């Protein structure tokens, strides 16, 4: 019985601008979730910035301060939710930037007016990409700002509310893989006259269906079970189970090229190899493991010969 189970930024460098962990949380707008999706090894966190008005008279972040600053920069950014700082804490791709001239006494409404002139509009639908291995428990996404002048730079600071990424869970990737039972057929004991003799290969069709659309690749591993432990890990040979009565033989698992398939090793089905459904083949055969000898004790004993292994699949 072959059982299948699921085991299953680009920051712009601005001269004289420093990154520090200071946050002034103006609440000029909202940042809401549009869910997360998987893209290979990356997770895309989708969000919307809205409810920002050009009529907001709250002091903004782009004041020229008497000509000290002449340029204001706004980025999408991620930072630490717990501290309100650390805009470089999480390796992030897909960040956006807008820059425009500062104003004397600039308000949050003025900021929005100026940002609209350089391509930002509300509602703004954005996203960031972060590798799936990155712990985003303390990460959030929103906007950050900085100002620069002819001979001075300002700090990059988070600006406004942020959206917790830990609450944006991408959908689980799933596939359907049915159990497979292979009838190895009947074979004369005389076929296994000497060590290493084998039976003909029997096809093991592995059918993977109903996979999630976001599936990028599959990693699978052949693992022995307690009932059929390993005899030779490199050559893919496992013992017959304890209910078997045949003696002197074992089961060998082969790959699609009919070469021994090493056990407890990861194998990858690469992107582009499949759509929502996929099939690949393995093979199995009996193999004599009883050493050669000069007495009757070296003769293979006929009987039932059953074994089990598990195919562990990880969907990525």
pLDDT at 68: 92
Please answer whether residues 96 and 22 qualify as being in contact, where contact means their C-beta atoms are separated by less than 8 angstroms: no
Tell me how far CA of residue 27 lies from CA of 31, 84, 123, 143, 164, in angstroms. Answer: 10, 14, 15, 11, 16
Q: How many whole angstroms from its chain centre is CA 38?
A: 7
Cα separation, 292 vs 299, in Å, equals 8
Distance CA 280, CA 255 (A): 9
- Show the beta-strand stretches assigned E in the chain: 2-6, 18-19, 30-39, 42-50, 71-80, 97-101, 124-131, 139-148, 155-164, 202-208, 218-224, 230-232, 237-238, 249-254, 267-269, 278-288, 309-315
CATH class of the domain comprising 189-315? mainly beta
Q: How far, in Å, CA of 226 to CA of 211, rounded?
A: 30
On whether the pTM is more than 0.85, the answer is no
CA distance 294 to 194: 11
Between CA 292 and CA 195 the distance in angstroms is 6
- pLDDT the model gives residue 9: 27
Sign of CA dihedral 180, 186, 189, 194: negative
The CA–CA distances, whole Å, from 102 to 152, 159, 225, 258 equal 14, 16, 68, 69
Backbone angles phi, psi at 233, to 5 degrees: -70, -35
- Quick check: helix, strand or coil at residue 139? strand
Report how far residue 173's alpha carbon sits from residue 160's, in angstroms, rounded to the nearest whole number: 34
pLDDT at 24: 38
Alpha-carbon gap, residue 187 to 305, rounded angstroms: 10
pLDDT score, position 128: 95
Q: What is the pLDDT along the chain (316 residues), one digit of tens a residue?
A: 333 334 332 222 323 333 333 333 445 799 999 999 988 788 999 999 999 999 999 999 999 999 999 999 999 999 999 998 888 889 999 999 999 999 999 999 999 999 999 999 999 999 999 998 899 999 999 999 999 998 887 778 898 999 999 999 888 888 888 889 999 999 999 999 999 999 999 999 999 888 887 787 889 999 999 999 999 999 999 999 999 999 999 999 999 999 999 999 999 887 565 667 888 899 999 999 999 876 556 788 999 999 999 999 988 7
Strands 155-164, 139-148: parallel, antiparallel or unpaired by DSSP?
antiparallel
DSSP 72-106: EEEEEEEEETTTS--TTSS--B---EEEEE-BTT-
Phi and psi at residue 113, in whole multiples of 5°?
-60, -45
Which pLDDT score, from 0 to 100, does residue 295 have? 58
Instruction: Give residue 253's pLDDT.
Output: 96
Q: Which two tokens stand for residue 315?
A: 């969907």
């Amino acid at each position: 019985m072959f059982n299948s189970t699921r085991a299953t930024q680009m920051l712009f460098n601005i001269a004289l601008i420093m990154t520090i962990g200071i946050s002034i949380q103006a609440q000029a707008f909202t940042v809401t979730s549009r869910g997360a999706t998987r893209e290979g090894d990356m997770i895309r966190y989708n969000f919307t910035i809205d409810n920002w008005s050009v009529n907001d008279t709250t002091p903004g972040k782009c004041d020229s301060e008497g000509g000290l600053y002449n340029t204001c920069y706004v980025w999408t950014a991620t930072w630490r939710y717990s501290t309100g700082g650390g805009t470089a804490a999480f390796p992030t791709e897909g960040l956006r930037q807008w820059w425009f001239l500062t104003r004397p006494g600039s308000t949050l409404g003025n900021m929005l007016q100026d940002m609209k002139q350089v391509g930002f509009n509300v509602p703004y639908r954005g996203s960031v990409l972060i590798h799936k291995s990155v712990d985003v428990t303390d990460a959030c996404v929103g906007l950050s700002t900085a100002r620069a002048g002819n001979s001075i730079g300002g700090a990059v600071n988070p600006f406004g509310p942020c959206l917790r990424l830990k609450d944006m869970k991408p959908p689980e990737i799933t596939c359907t893989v049915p159990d497979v039972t292979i009838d190895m057929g009947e074979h004369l004991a005389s076929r296994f006259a000497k060590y290493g003799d084998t039976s003909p290969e029997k096809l093991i069709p592995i059918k993977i269906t109903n996979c999630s659309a976001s599936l990028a690749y599959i990693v699978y591993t052949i693992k022995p079970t307690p009932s059929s432990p390993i005899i030779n890990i490199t050559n893919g040979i496992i013992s017959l189970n304890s209910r078997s009565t045949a003696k002197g033989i074992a089961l060998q698992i082969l790959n699609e090229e009919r070469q021994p398939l090493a056990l407890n090793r990861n194998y990858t089905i690469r992107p582009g190899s499949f759509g929502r459904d996929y099939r690949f083949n393995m093979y199995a055969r009996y193999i004599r493991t009883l050493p050669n000898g000069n007495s009757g004790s070296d003769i293979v004993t006929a009987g039932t010969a059953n074994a089990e292994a598990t195919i562990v699949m990880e969907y990525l």
